[in-house]
């Protein structure tokens, strides 16, 4: 757990604006500021306890399942229910924000294209 708030904590706290498409007690989803696909949403647990998906899976598997089911519901709404879900894990893999989040990509994806 980091000591300084990440950009996502600041979005959750509404200290900086974001195009929020979904919010619950536990999750928030908003459009990525630098989209890599026609639909590019970030699905983010509100807790700052987990830096990446491996930590989340170990610490709160039910919350990880909620990220996946929420991504599916958002994909049904935004891109006909078909989507790619990406968790960049580690700086060398392209992770820049160390607060667990799923990239939901959908809509006419280019073959092999990855976020990050
Ligand atoms: P990562 O590289 O950690 O997997 O993903 C971080 C993502 O957050 C990147 O795709 C980046 O474009 C997005 N991002 C970074 N800062 C902001 C911001 O201030 N607002 C929004 N909406 N997205 C952001």
Residue 112 lies in a domain: no
Per-residue buried b or exposed e for 51-83, using 16+ beta carbons within 10 Å of the residue's own CB: bbbebbeeebeebbebbeebbeebbeebbeeeb
Alpha-carbon dihedral sign for residues 77, 45, 98, 33: positive
CATH number at residue 22: 3.30.428.10
The per-residue pLDDT for range 73-104, each reduced to its tens digit, is 999 999 999 999 999 999 999 999 999 999 99
Residue 110 confidence (pLDDT) above 70: no
Residue 37 lies in a domain: yes
CA of 65 to the centre of ligand 1 (A): 22
Q: How many domains does the chain have?
A: 1
Bridge-partner residues for 29, per DSSP?
22, 43
The per-residue pLDDT for range 3-59, each reduced to its tens digit, is 689 999 999 999 999 999 999 999 999 999 999 999 999 999 999 999 999 999 999
Report pTM: 0.94
State which ligand 1 atom lies nearest to the alpha carbon of 97: 3
Residue 90 lies in a domain: yes
State which ligand 1 atom lies nearest to the alpha carbon of 115: 10
Residues spanned by the domain of 37: 7-106
Residue 95 lies in a domain: yes
């Amino acid at each position: 757990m980091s000591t300084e708030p990440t950009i996502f904590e600041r979005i959750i706290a509404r200290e900086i604006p974001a195009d929020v498409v979904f919010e619950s007690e536990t999750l928030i989803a908003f459009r990525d500021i630098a989209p890599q696909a026609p639909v590019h949403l970030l699905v983010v647990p509100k807790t700052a306890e987990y830096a990446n998906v491996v930590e989340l899976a170990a610490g709160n598997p039910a919350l990880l399942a909620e990220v996946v089911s929420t991504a599916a519901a958002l994909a049904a709404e935004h891109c006909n229910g078909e989507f790619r879900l990406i968790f960049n894990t580690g700086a060398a893999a392209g992770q820049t924000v160390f607060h667990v989040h799923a990239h939901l990509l959908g809509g006419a994806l280019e073959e092999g294209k990855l976020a990050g």
